Chain A
Amino acid sequence: MSKVNPKFATELAKYGSDDFNACFNCGNCTATCSLSTTDSSFPREMIRYTTLGLEDEITASLKPWECYYCGECSTECPRQANPGELMMSLRRWLTAKYDWTGLSGLMYKSLSLSLTAFILAFAGVMAFVFSIHFDMERMMHVGHLFEMIAIGSVAVVILLPNIVRMWYFTILKPKTKVSFKKYVTSITDLIVHMFTQKRALGCDDNQFRWFEHFVLVLAYLSLLFTTVFLDWFNATNLFIIILGYVESAIIFVVTVDFVSNRVKKNKAVSKNSQPSDWFFVIWLLLMGLTAFLTRMFIDFGWLESNKWLFIVHLTVLVQWALIIVPFGKWTHFLYRSFAMYFAKLKES
């Protein structure tokens, strides 16, 4: 017995989608979706749960993560209920739900809070550079140190507990019985989906979108590796230097395309942009750009006279690592791949 809660609709509207009340349950969205199957059918079911406010059912569901947003459902919807955007909003809502700190939800719902966080991060960076009198070497050193510490602590303090919570909501609480063996054997699914986003290939829209995203993920992960473990900014090895240039250039080029799509709103997937979407793509773009320029300025010996550039890069880095990664859209990288893993576990 589930209790109907119409107030949930108002709550979800704060995460983006507010057209779903127009739905009259025809099921065209589910019929047209190329990822929906008989065993796991969506998005109609999720729309219905949302309109009725069946929070428990939504929290236990992995279906929002199974959608890769081609937007076909929204195009076909005879009531303009925008199911695609509903699934997107549910992913935001779930992200907030998984987050034990509750900060994700607050930032999704309040733009001013997000902006405050960004400003605070900037102020922190400024305070730090002032305190060390703009000493370039120390800035570089601390920047590199920060990266390592931030990655480690965000992963341990925020991301890991959140994944455990996701596991609790979707596997443990609905009393799904999973053998230990299954946990081990399914791990390949986790890895494959994490690094290839294979499932997105099932979407009917052009495969180019998948390719762009795939290249971006590889570039991002390898740039992370290059800067953190190969210490790109201090590297002397030509191969490493060029590798870093290529990676940051790819990030820059692909994100420029993503941002321009969102500006032009030319595809269903880029029609509706929430602040969290803008922050994510723009900061990724800035990361690529500032990293590229910083290394270039180092190579040409301009950095010492253009310290501002590194301060900008550091600011972007800090904001990214402390705001977007733990509480923003970055988490979809983890939740999507773990959702595929958990879905595999649920298969009987």
Chain B
Amino acid sequence: MKERIGVYICHCGGNISDYVDVEELSKMFHKEENVVIAKDVMFACADSNQKDMVQDIQENKLDAIVVCSCSPKLHLHTFRSVAARAGLNPSNYVQVNIREQCSWPHSDRPREATVKAAGLIRAGINRVSFSESLEDIQLEVKKSVMVLGAGVAGMKAAIDLAKSGNEVFLVEKDFFVGGRIAQKDKLFVTGQSGKQIVASLYDEIKKQSNITIFTGTSIEKVSGSLGNFHIDLKVKPRYINGKADKQAVKRAMEECPVEVPDAFNLGLTKRKAIYKNYPEALPDVPVVEAELLKDQPDFTAKFASTLNLNEQEETISLIVGSVLVTTGYENYQPKEGEFGYKTIDNVVTLPELNRLMELNPQKLVYNGKEIKSIAFIYCVGSRQKKGENKYCSRQCCTSTIYTSLQLKEKYKEMQTYHLYRDIRAYGKQEVLYTQSAKQGDLYFKYEDKEKDFPVVEKVGKNTIVKVKDSLTARKELEIEADLVVLVTGMVAREDSTHISELFKIPIGRDRFFNEIHPKLKPVETVIKGVYIGGTCQGPKNVTESVQSSLAGASKITALLKSGTVAVDPIIARVDTDACTWCGKCADVCDYGALKVVEVDGKKVASVNKAVCTGCGICAPVCPENAIEIAQYTDKGIESMIDGFMLDVQIQEKEVNADEVQDENAVGMKEYPQVWKEILAGMTDEKNTIPQIIENSKLKGELVTYHLMTMNKYGVVVPAGMDQKEEYFYYKKK
């Protein structure tokens, strides 16, 4: 129990004191038991008052303080630091909100506002008398990080994390690193190919001794928390004998009799059952699809020493301090018949076209026909009217325009048609749009309504796209194209739900991972120690992906730097005497913070301090009342209720009759100078704006703007229109 409490009641310069009788309240609480000081102050947050408070605390040996002012959202930290400066533990401070909760909402009933304030203050005093001095919880953390996904975002972040002295485990589900950018040829702005970027990043990773890459690896199980995540990995075998001769491996690849559609080329080509995504793919070891070679005994016998078909899956357990999720995205796959996809033979998606371009260095050929004109249909699978992909995929406009420039550069004779809803070539990417328009690419804008979407049709041998072009007065135009390309957007990966369940990262309706706050905590998740970067969070281009993953890497480095982490002490705690371990608390806990432990041979619940967020859901479900949240103890809360319910007798504040008459429509003591001048300019019974401008000699816009405001607040009122019906008349109220 606190016995030397200081209470400060703020006027807020009239914001509170105009309605709540703060002087009366301070007199009242001065007599309260355990209250040593009760003061009303003009601005509690003012520097001078803060100094006074520090002095008060020290001189009077106060053990707790209550400030009754505005919302804690505004000044909780201000007064906590006042307490700390005076040598008082900050958790012995309580803020009571008598502005947003009393004076502002109850300005029409000052007496009741004062009574309510008195109740809240008493509740605050009671609460603070049960407060305890709490210190931040210090957790030891391991300086190691797992980066999930070795795309451009993950690889770059891994390098930065390693350079900052962290042990890094880079885990990739595919057998080769690089992710989606390996499927792209040239990339804006530098013109480097995706594969070049992947190769240089891989090279840099290899130079770092503290990065371990796992390919063909998936996450099986996650437990533990910030500082000590226990993660089980499953590593799939490559079925290649590690000691085999490189030439023999190469021969095996060439001679392999089984062919399947090549997923890396989006099914446009076939590959062998022993394969690499592309010849320079890294790590430089091919993968065998053992399943497919089951019925090829001759082949497997011939390459018995090269292949290792008995290799087993491996499970590896790792402990890491933090996790960076950079699992990336998937390309939107159009439904059958969506703009003729799969139903018309020359309709492909943009990622497919990008693969085609790389596979056709000389002439662009699809289905055995040389392509000389391409119609792009934008926003396929993005900005959906129906369906969950309401978002704009952000990078596809630029990607298409850049592709269009590449097409012209590579194949010379190429006419492109761009059917768009809006071109969003933001920032420096606008340059590309200009270039594209100047090289003769034609742009058509279709309306953002489903019925106005372009239609792809086959007329004889020709493919025709029909579009109602907004730029040509919505005339229906016919475009003949050799190839129709659907500009598909980014969607969340199929396995994002699985990852979300493992790490408990929240996902949105669009199934991308959610950060805590898009502006202020853009790479943090609600799970402490788990960060997100790149396109697993939402559509981004390469630059933005790397920016966000590096932001995550920096946050992690800062977090793990000292080897310990301070967490908020307001969390659940278990009374081990009362606890009988029924498990109900663990059942309701969203974070898995409660586990059973044995204390002196008795099974009781234990709180993982690193994981608990202090949400309080466990406390009410405990049948033994053995669990409570620090600072929110039952005793404390009950005393607040008692305090609030106590009867308060307060005299109604006498209001000076003259003051009331002086008040005007707005409740201002005095109108601003401009308003006075405008009112002075209203010389007639009723005046139009031009007349007032004429009379007042003020600027036209100023008068118009202020007159609108004055009208809104009822200082002036409209009084019909003039004869020509050009202007409204206004008169003073």
| Residue from the list B417, B437, B439 in contact with A4, Cβ < 8 A | B417
Stretch at the interface among B145-153, B266-274, B472-480: B472-480
**A46-58 near B? 1/0 per residue, CB < 8 Å:** 0011011010000
- In this complex, what residue of A is CB-closest to B440? A21
**A195: interface (CB < 8 Å):** no
In angstroms, Cα B417 to Cα A46, docked, is 19
Residues of B with C-beta under 8 A to A52: 442, 469, 472, 477
Q: Which of B447-492 contact A (CB under 8 A)?
A: 466, 469, 471-473, 475-480
Those of B429-452 within 8 Å (CB) of chain A:
434, 437-440, 442-443
Q: C-beta contact mask, B691-703 vs A, less than 8 Å → 1, else 0? A: 0000000000000
Contact A2–B434 (Cβ < 8 Å): no
When C-beta atoms are compared, the residue in chain B nearest to A21 turns out to be: B440
Residues of A within 8 A of B469 (CB): 52
* Complex interface: chain B residues within 8 A of A3 (CB): 477-480
Question: Which residue of chain A has its CB nearest to the CB of B445?
Answer: A25
Residues of A in contact (CB 8 Å), total 18
* Bound Cα distance A36, B440 (Å): 27
- The contact sample of 13 A-B pairs, CB cut-off 8 A, is A1-B476, A1-B478, A4-B417, A4-B478, A6-B442, A21-B439, A21-B440, A22-B438, A23-B437, A25-B471, A45-B472, A52-B469, A79-B437
Partner among A4, A6, A49, A79 whose Cβ is within 8 Å of the Cβ of B440: A6
Question: Is A24 in the interface zone, CB < 8 Å from B?
Answer: yes
Contacts of B477 in A (CB 8 A): 1-4, 52
B415 at the interface (CB under 8 A from A): yes
- A256 near B: Cβ within 8 Å? no
Known: A21-B437, A22-B434. A4 touches B442 (CB 8 A): yes
Verify if A9 is at the interface (C-beta below 8 Å from B): yes
Smallest Cβ distance from B401 to chain A, in angstroms?
Answer: 13
* 6 A-B pairs with the lowest CB-CB distances in the bound complex, closest first: A3-B478, A25-B471, A4-B479, A6-B415, A21-B440, A22-B438
Nearest CB in chain A: distance from B435 CB, A: 10
Roughly how many angstroms separate A51 CA and B415 CA in the complex, as a whole number?
12
- Enumerate chain A interface residues (CB-CB to B < 8 A): 1-4, 6, 9, 21-25, 45, 48-49, 51-52, 54, 79
Nearest Cβ in chain A — how far from B469, in angstroms?
Answer: 8
Q: Nearest chain A CB to B621's CB is how many angstroms away? A: 63
* Given A6-B442, A48-B472, 15 extra CB contacts under 8 A: A1-B478, A2-B476, A3-B480, A4-B417, A4-B442, A4-B478, A9-B440, A21-B438, A21-B439, A22-B437, A24-B437, A24-B443, A45-B472, A52-B442, A79-B434
Chain A residues whose C-beta falls within 8 Å of the C-beta of B476 in the assembled complex: 1-2
CB distance from A82 to the nearest CB of B (A): 12
Q: How far is the CB of A88 from chain B (nearest CB, A)?
A: 20
Within 8 Å by CB of B475, from A2, A9, A22, lies A2
Q: Which residues of B contact A22 (CB under 8 A)?
A: 434, 437-438
Query: Given the complex, which residues of A lie within 8 Å of B472, measured CB to CB?
Result: 45, 48-49, 52, 54
Least CB distance from A11 to B in Å reads 13
Q: Which residue of B lies closest to A7 (CB)?
A: B415
CB-nearest residue of chain B to A2:
B477
CB proximity of A86 to chain B, nearest CB, Å: 15
> Once the chains bind, are A2 and B442 in contact (CB under 8 Å)?
no
B478 (CB) vs chain A CBs: closest residue: A3
From known contacts A3-B478, A21-B438, A21-B440, infer whether A48 and B417 are also in contact, taking CB-CB under 8 Å: no
Task: Kindly name the residue among A4, A6, A9, A54 whose own CB sees the greatest number of chain B CB atoms within 10 A.
Answer: A4
**Contact residues in A for B480 (Cβ distance below 8 Å):** 3-4
CB of B440 within 8 A of CB of A48, answer: no
Residues in A with CB closer than 8 Å to B440 are 6, 9, 21
User: What's the Cα separation between A21 and B476 when bound, in Å?
Assistant: 21
Indicate which residue in A1, A48, A54, A79 contacts B471 across the interface (CB closer than 8 Å).
Answer: A48
Q: Are B442 and A51 in contact (CB under 8 A)?
A: yes
User: Please, which residue of chain B has its CB at the minimum distance from the CB of A4?
Assistant: B479
Question: A51 — which chain B residues lie within 8 A by C-beta?
Answer: 442
Question: What secondary structure prevails in chain A residues at the interface with B?
Answer: mixed
Output the least CB separation between A30 and chain B (Å). Answer: 12
Residues on B facing A (Cβ under 8 Å): 415, 417, 434, 437-440, 442-443, 466, 469, 471-473, 475-480
> Provided the pairs A21-B440, A22-B437 are in contact, do residues A2 and B471 lie with their beta carbons within 8 angstroms?
no
Is there an interface contact between A1 and B415, defined as CB atoms closer than 8 Å?
Answer: no
B residues within 8 A CB of A9? 440
Knowing A25-B471, A48-B471, A49-B472 are in contact, say whether A2-B438 is a contact too (CB < 8 A).
Answer: no
Considering only CB atoms, which chain A residue lies closest to B417 in the complex? A4
Distance from B539 Cβ to chain A, minimum over Cβ atoms (Å): 25
Separation of A248 and B460 alpha carbons in the complex (Å): 64
CA A21 to CA B442, docked complex, whole Å: 8
User: Chain A: which residue is nearest B375 at the CB level?
Assistant: A4
Cα A1 to Cα B476 in complex, Å, equals 5
Contacts of A2 in B (CB 8 A): 475-478
Question: Closest residue of chain A to B415, judged by CB?
Answer: A6
- Distance A1 CA – B439 CA, assembled complex (angstroms): 26
With A and B bound together, what is the CA distance between A48 and B471 in angstroms? 8
Please give, as numbers and ranges, the residues of chain A lying within 8 Å of B434 by CB-CB distance.
22, 79
Question: Would you give the shortest CB distance from A8 to chain B, in whole angstroms?
Answer: 11
A48-B546 Cα distance, complex, nearest whole Å: 40
Quote the shortest CB–CB distance from B353 to chain A (angstroms): 19
How far is it, in angstroms, between the C-alpha of A23 and the C-alpha of B472 when the chains are bound?
13
> Cβ of B417: which chain A residues have Cβ within 8 Å of it?
4
In the assembled complex, the Cα of A54 lies from the Cα of B417 at a distance in Å of 15
Q: Which of B434, B472, B473 has most A Cβ within 10 Å?
A: B472
Interface centre among A9, A24, A49, by most chain B C-beta atoms within 10 angstroms, is: A24
Q: Kindly state the separation between the CA atoms of A48 and B437 in the bound complex, as whole angstroms.
A: 13
A22 to B477 Cα, complex, angstroms: 21
Q: Which residues of A contact B466 (CB under 8 A)?
A: 1
Inter-chain CA distance A22–B443, complex, in Å, is 11
Cβ distance A55 to chain B, nearest Cβ, rounded Å: 13
Hey, which chain B residues are within 8 Å of A54, CB to CB? 472
Chain A nearest CB: distance from B456 CB in Å?
15
Cα of A49 to Cα of B469 in the assembled complex, Å: 12
CB distance from A315 to the nearest CB of B (A): 43
- Note all chain A residues with C-beta closer than 8 A to B443: 24
A2 to B467, CA, bound (A): 10
Determine which residue in A24, A48, A51, A52 has the highest number of CB atoms from chain B within 10 A of its CB, and name it. Answer: A52
Cβ-closest chain A residue relative to B373: A6
**Residues in B neighbouring A79, C-beta threshold 8 A:** 434, 437
Residues of B within 8 A of A25 (CB): 471
How far is A104 from B579 in the complex, measured between Cα atoms in Å? 103
Smallest Cβ distance from A271 to chain B, in angstroms? Answer: 20
**Which A residues are in CB contact (< 8 Å) with B471?**
25, 48
**Residue from B442, B469, B471, B479 whose CB has the most chain A CB atoms within 10 Å:** B471
CB distance from B461 to the nearest CB of A (A): 16
Contacts of B437 in A (CB 8 A): 21-24, 79
Q: Contacts of A4 on B, CB cut-off 8 Å?
A: 417, 442, 477-480
The chain B residue with its CB closest to the CB of A5 is: B480
Which residues from chain A contact B478 at a C-beta distance below 8 Å? 1-4
CA separation between A296 and B442, bound complex, in Å?
59
Bound form: Cα–Cα A51–B441 in Å = 9
Nearest CB to that of B470 among chain A residues? A25
- Nearest CB on A from B592, distance (A): 55
Min CB distance, A44 to chain B, in Å? Answer: 9
Closest-by-CB residue of B relative to A53 is B442
Residues of A within 8 A of B438 (CB): 21-22
Q: Bound state CA distance, A9 and B437, in angstroms?
A: 13
Cα(A23)–Cα(B471), bound, Å: 11
In the docked arrangement, what's the CA distance between A49 and B480, Å? 17
Cα–Cα distance between A49 and B440 once the two chains are bound (Å):
14
CA distance in complex: A48, B475 (Å): 11
A158 to B476, CA, bound (A): 37
Residues of B within 8 A of A1 (CB): 466, 476-478
Closest beta carbon of chain A to B247's beta carbon, Å: 52
Q: Which residue among B415, B475, B476 has the maximum number of chain A CB atoms within 10 Å of its CB?
A: B475
- Bound CA–CA A45/B471 (angstroms): 9
Q: For the complex, give the distance between the alpha carbons of A16 and B471 in Å.
A: 24
